[in-house]
């Protein structure tokens, strides 16, 4: 039995609330169990210097954990004077994941910033950030479409992310913090709706694992990601239907 009573192939309860803040072009609150992340998508009418005059857009992520997102208070990065290596890694992961499924040439010379702020952490904050940021990104792209700043939705596929691991010798989906901190194997998976892998981050915590165990973890993670994408589509409603039609036309 898992610490929260779930089956080993069961996600925590997921809710996605759109239009969570007033000013961002896309804004959502995603909850996966007790992990809660605000994801805001902001449109900036410029690109980094290395993309200027190339007719191409850019998508990048920023990530932060608020001081009381955890049981004891964390010191803000601004107070430390620098951000941690873990934070940099997660920011880059968010940006890479989004860029992998967006046609940047169709975005035009503009940047979309994805700010993911963890307000409560109980494991899986990076994967929740990716799953939520994608929904915020769709709303920001829809804003650009309505303002006639882009000609079509430049989205190639839905994506989501989840964690999997080996606990007490058996695979488990969507680890909470207590499970994550004691897992023999801990793995984060980012994947498209079609089952194509964008990124795998995995490690054996003093317990090397086999190719067969990895295959089982990826299969379990894919099941969870397909469920998460269904939650994304439910949250997006009619926008998801339009994206599905576009994907069918391009198939």
d(CA 38, CA 61): 13
Looking at residues 83-92, what average pLDDT do you find? 94
Beta bridge partners of 193: none
pLDDT at 96: 97
pLDDT at 147: 96
Band (pLDDT 50/70/90 cuts) for residue 32 is: very high
What tokens were used for 225?
């990601």
Longest pairwise C-alpha distance within the chain: 57
d(CA 150, CA 55): 12
126 marked as binding residue: yes
Q: Is the pLDDT of residue 251 over 60?
A: no
Domain segments of the chain: what residues? 14-73+84-242
124 marked as binding residue: yes
For domain 14-73+84-242, the CATH architecture is 2-Layer Sandwich (3.30)
85 marked as binding residue: no
pTM over 0.85: yes
d(CA 111, CA 173): 34
9 — phi, psi (to 5°)? Answer: -105, 25
Q: Are the C-beta atoms of residues 190 and 163 closer than 8 Å to each other?
A: no
Query: Pairing between strand 35-44 and 111-120?
Result: antiparallel
55 marked as binding residue: no
């Amino acid at each position: 039995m898992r610490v929260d009573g779930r089956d080993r192939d069961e996600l925590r309860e997921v809710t996605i609330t759109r239009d969570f803040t007033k000013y961002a072009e896309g804004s959502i609150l995603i909850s996966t169990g007790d992990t809660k992340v605000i994801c805001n998508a902001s449109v900036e009418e410029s690109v980094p210097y290395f993309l200027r005059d190339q007719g191409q857009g850019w998508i990048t992520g920023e990530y932060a954990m608020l001081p009381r997102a955890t049981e004891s208070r964390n010191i803000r990065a601004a107070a430390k004077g620098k951000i941690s290596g873990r934070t940099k890694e997660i920011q880059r992961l968010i940006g890479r994941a989004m860029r992998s499924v967006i046609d940047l040439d169709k975005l035009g010379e503009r940047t979309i910033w994805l700010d993911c702020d963890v307000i409560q952490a109980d494991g899986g904050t990076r994967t929740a950030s990716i799953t939520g940021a994608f929904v915020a990104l769709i709303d920001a792209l829809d804003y650009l479409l309505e303002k006639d700043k882009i000609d079509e939705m430049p989205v190639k596929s839905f994506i989501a992310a989840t964690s999997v691991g080996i606990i007490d010798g058996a695979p488990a989906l969507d680890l909470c913090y207590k499970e994550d901190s004691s897992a023999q194997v801990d793995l984060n998976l980012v994947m498209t709706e079609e089952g194509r892998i964008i990124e795998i981050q995995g490690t054996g915590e003093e317990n090397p694992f086999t190719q067969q165990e990895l295959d089982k973890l990826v299969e379990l993670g894919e099941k969870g990601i397909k469920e998460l994408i269904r939650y994304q589509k439910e949250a997006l409603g009619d926008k998801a239907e339009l994206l599905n039609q576009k994907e069918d036309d391009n198939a």
